[in-house]
Structure 1
């Protein structure tokens, strides 16, 4: 472990002791001696304060969304600046109805969707004799029909659409797809970036004034500004359709986001220096606690549990 990493760990240890325990006068004096030991010590503490401020906001929102968990007597949740009071939770509820912080609950648009899956849930919907829809976790879609053509609007999440001898229109982000007798997978975790893979037949993306044709085995990625040219896609169905979550050299910051899509509770990357570390592993979608164990036991990432809140780093 490098000196900087050791100081970061010590800073988080002090934060944990001062904010979740019962620090004595001697503890506070020892902490001040440690913090004033060098500029590097002071910098490590400053970063720890920022990290724990984020954790505190997360814990506060989590308690507001999961009152049953919050009702469990846990003294540390009320210590120092981890708890900011119910009034803040009330204010967050108003703002968060449109933009939920950290994705802890669905937005108003997602709540009103025709079909919606919860964290860790997957669902298959038959929309007609010739149209099937598979929804991955945390996915919301609206379904309508005009002039005999089914229209599927992917609000957020990940879906697989199979149209057999039927025309279908799919809307996601800034694009619109048309397909007839084709299978596609589409992922839209935010309006900023959408990925589409054509598995069978052919589809066409309409993006602004441009069109991108897709044949079986091709994919495109688009955002508000542009759409990529067709490119070869990895073969076969996505891992989620086989009940697996695959991390293939994924940065830890992205891996944490992916874990939170499937696992109830919340995982927070408390040490920002770990964000770029690459994570490679594969897990059953119902066993994402194993991912946390592997991060700790194999990758050496410190893990701290606060009820259903898990801190990494």
Structure 2
């Protein structure tokens, strides 16, 4: 089969359509008929889906712009992935124009650079536009936007270890789940799974907030401290870590479970799986699991759990593996 080569006009038309659908699907008056038409359009060509995903990334950036202003010329905005440059510029034009005034970079309303990074089957090391070094765990994704007065990262999924370039004048802000982490220069790790977030500080200090809508910068962490939060938490939970803490073992390809109940162990395992493992009830969730595992081989762990734990496997209606505790027989007296 011969691969189709798109002309510039065809590619422009697809980009314009992706920007149109991005706006319509976010509109309050979008109809069911329009949503069905969009699904047909997206399924018609892999490039349609690809361009639409690029538009969604820029929508996230545009959503942070002040609503009372309109956009400046976009000639200075550059993307880290050249093959997306046109799509990104078009999306910013289409989405940001109604939202931002003619001011731009100098007033800190628009970024001068945008980067997108993913790691799928291997741990990946990347360098952000400000020089910050980031290690991405498997199945992780983040974006970086560079503003005049601050640097912003959105951790969309997974886990990342940051070695932040020091810049007192421009704070480095990581948004994860409902909260954010604010620093100027330090080393720390952020883990995100569903609505759970965990922040481990290695060096320096960070401010952690569990809710972006709350005023203030949150609670301060010092070295060897950890913050946890999830959706709906008013404040993060702060705790001390210890010398033998293994939460960063992923950087060497390992997952270390230190005799954890399944309720705590499964979120650490599930983020590596295509089908998350569930528990049938509270008694199953309380069963404890330990061991050291290769993060690339965790799919094989699920089938072995009945050999090491008092559980058996079933599947729910969505095809997820479900762990069920084996009832303990009462000795006959």
Normalised TM-score (structure 1): 0.54
Q: Distance in 2 between matches of 1:269 and 1:225?
A: 23
- Match of 1:169? 173
Q: Distance in 2 between matches of 1:227 and 1:199?
A: 21
Q: Distance in 2 between matches of 1:152 and 1:112?
A: 12
Check conservation: 1:139, 1:156, Cα contact below 8 A: yes
Render the CA deviation track for 1:71-120: whole Å, top value 9, x for unaligned.
Answer: xxxxxxxxxxxxxxxxxxxx9xx7xx9xxxxxxxxxx69984822333x5
- Match of 2:308? 298
Residue 214 in structure 1 maps to residue 221 in structure 2: yes
Check conservation: 2:278, 2:320, Cα contact below 8 A: no
Tell me whether 121-130 or 194-203 shows the greater mean CA deviation.
121-130
More contact order relative to length (CA 8 Å, sep ≥ 6): 1
Check conservation: 1:250, 1:280, Cα contact below 8 A: yes
* Structure 1, unpaired ranges of 5+: 1-90, 98-107
- Match of 1:117? 119
After TM superposition, the structure 1 = structure 2 runs for residues 8-47 of structure 1, keeping only pairs within 5 Å, are none
Residue among 196, 200, 219 paired with 2:199: 196
Q: Distance in 2 between matches of 1:221 and 1:110?
A: 31
Q: Distance in 1 between matches of 2:286 and 2:259?
A: 10
Q: Secondary structure at the match of 1:115?
A: strand
Q: Say if 1:279 and 1:203 are closer, same or farther in 2 by CA, change over 3 A.
A: same
Q: Distance in 2 between matches of 1:174 and 1:269?
A: 24
Check conservation: 1:198, 1:214, Cα contact below 8 A: yes
Residue 205 in structure 1 maps to residue 211 in structure 2: no
Q: Secondary structure at the match of 2:270?
A: helix
Q: Say if 1:220 and 1:145 are closer, same or farther in 2 by CA, change over 3 A.
A: same
- Match of 2:254? 244
Point out the structure with the larger strand share: 1
The CA RMSD measured in Å over matched residues stands at: 3.7
Render the CA deviation track for 1:20-78: whole Å, top value 9, x for unaligned.
Answer: xxxxxxxxxxxxxxxxxxxxxxxxxxxxxxxxxxxxxxxxxxxxxxxxxxxxxxxxxxx
Render the CA deviation track for 1:124-153: whole Å, top value 9, x for unaligned.
Answer: 211146301112223221210111632111
Render the CA deviation track for 1:181-217: whole Å, top value 9, x for unaligned.
Answer: 20111122234x3221211011123451243112211
- Match of 2:150? 149
Report the alpha carbon displacement of residue 246 of structure 1 after superposing the two structures with TM: 1.9
* Structure 2, unpaired ranges of 5+: 1-35, 43-52, 59-115, 325-333
Normalised TM-score (structure 2): 0.51
Q: Distance in 2 between matches of 1:250 and 1:188?
A: 18
- Match of 1:53? none
Report the alpha carbon displacement of residue 244 of structure 1 after superposing the two structures with TM: 0.8
Report the alpha carbon displacement of residue 270 of structure 1 after superposing the two structures with TM: 7.2
Q: Distance in 2 between matches of 1:213 and 1:304?
A: 44
Residue among 262, 267, 289 paired with 2:272: 262
Q: Secondary structure at the match of 2:234?
A: coil
